[in-house]
């Protein structure tokens, strides 16, 4: 069974991703399953359902049913492991503060030396608009936002890199935001948040370049406006076009898993189109 680490799993997008992964079949795993089931065909590339025999179909159903029950072994992590995270059907629930090197090291030791197929850096913070304006933003807001949104994903990835490199088809998903796009910025404000996500994009691109030869795919994601706890004022719930985490995650999942090494280090909207830096 493939293994995933999900940060921010106590709330919103991270929680829903963790839940989905527990239930989910990993698509790249599914390809060899089909190839295995279709004994008349040497490789998936040559697979054509029209030439399947009845026996192929029966074997396919048998193997696919097993795969369906698999899902991921999910390590659900958050700074707080309250009731929401406790509802996840995984025994691996971890307190992890991505801004703390000690906490990252502790989690890494708990995770051990096993292969890691998927690392989802989802934990994030955003200060209320008024506190992150040109007039009001402060060193405190800037440091906290960068520590969680930018340095956290880098340092956690660094710590789990040996595990990723041991896995078959490893993948990193970094949850960015369209607000980190300089080209797309038409409304200003949100100094720390925008800059932290722009810097996360830069870091993610470097990761993609450095890890390409090692076979690690890096996918930078924008979830759209999602009804979560990120905006402590609750305004996001009323924002035009805001969607539930279920919808955002089902689309993000498609985007995340459809990208190969040739697309590594690119920035994607949940609806599948590429975003400008
Ligand atoms: N919702 C949106 O519309 C939207 C749009 C674009 C991008 N995003 C991005 O999507 C990601 C997920 O956000 P969300 O909307 O699901 O927000 P959320 O509901 O607030 O979830 C974020 C989670 O990260 C946790 N967290 C905060 N600091 C942490 C730390 N130091 N270490 C570990 N975990 C920490 C939060 O805990 P606390 O609640 O205790 O702080 C929370 O459980 C974020 O990176 C966000 O920037 C969201």
Cβ atoms of 181 and 232 within 8 Å: the answer is no
Residue 69 bridge partners (DSSP): none
Nearest CA to ligand 1 atom 17: 230
Q: Is 174 in the pocket of ligand 1 (CB under 6 A)?
A: no
Q: How far is the CA of 105 from the centre of ligand 1 (A)?
A: 21
Nearest CA to ligand 1 atom 21: 11
Q: How far is the CA of 230 from the centre of ligand 1 (A)?
A: 5
Q: Which atom of ligand 1 is nearest to the CA of 98?
A: 32
Q: How far is the CA of 68 from the centre of ligand 1 (A)?
A: 29
Nearest 5°: phi and psi at 206?
-60, -40
Query: Which of 123, 184, 256 best tests ligand 1's pocket when mutated (most atoms within 8 Å of CB)?
Result: 123
- Output the tens digit of pLDDT for each of the chain's 277 residues: 899 999 999 999 999 999 999 986 544 445 545 555 555 444 444 445 555 566 565 665 555 555 455 689 999 999 999 999 999 999 999 999 999 999 999 999 999 999 999 999 999 999 999 999 999 999 999 999 999 999 999 999 999 999 999 999 999 999 999 999 999 999 999 999 999 999 999 999 999 999 999 999 999 999 999 999 999 888 888 899 999 999 999 999 999 999 999 999 999 999 999 999 9
Whole-structure pTM value: 0.88
Yes or no: is domain 3-24+72-269 CATH 3.40.50.720? yes
Cβ atoms of 3 and 117 within 8 Å: the answer is yes
d(CA 75, CA 86): 12
């Amino acid at each position: 069974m493939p293994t995933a680490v999900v940060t921010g799993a106590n709330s919103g997008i991270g929680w829903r991703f963790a839940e989905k992964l527990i239930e989910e079949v990993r698509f790249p795993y599914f390809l060899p399953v089909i190839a295995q089931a279709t004994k008349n065909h040497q490789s998936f590339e040559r697979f054509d359902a029209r030439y399947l025999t009845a026996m192929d179909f029966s074997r396919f159903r048998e193997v696919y049913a097993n795969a369906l029950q698999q899902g991921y072994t999910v390590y659900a992590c958050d700074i707080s492991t309250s009731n929401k995270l406790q509802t996840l059907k995984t025994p691996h629930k971890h307190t992890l503060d991505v801004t703390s090197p000690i906490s990252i090291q502790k989690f890494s030791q708990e995770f051990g030396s096993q292969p890691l197929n998927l690392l989802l850096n989802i934990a994030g913070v955003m200060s209320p608009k008024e506190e992150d304006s040109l007039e009001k933003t402060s060193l405190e807001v800037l440091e906290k936002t960068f520590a969680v949104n930018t340095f956290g994903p880098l340092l956690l990835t660094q710590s789990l890199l040996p595990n990723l490199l041991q896995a078959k088809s490893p993948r990193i998903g970094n949850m960015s935001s369209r607000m980190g796009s300089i080209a797309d910025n038409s409304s200003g404000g949100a100094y720390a948040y925008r800059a932290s996500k722009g810097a996360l994009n830069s870091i993610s691109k470097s990761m993609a370049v450095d890890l390409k030869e090692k076979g690690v795919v890096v996918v930078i994601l924008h979830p759209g406006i999602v009804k979560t706890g990120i905006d402590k004022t609750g305004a996001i719930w009323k924002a035009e076009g805001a969607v539930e985490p279920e919808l955002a995650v089902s689309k993000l999942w498609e985007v995340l898993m459809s990208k190969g090494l040739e697309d590594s280090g690119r920035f994607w909207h949940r609806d599948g189109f590429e975003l400008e830096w």
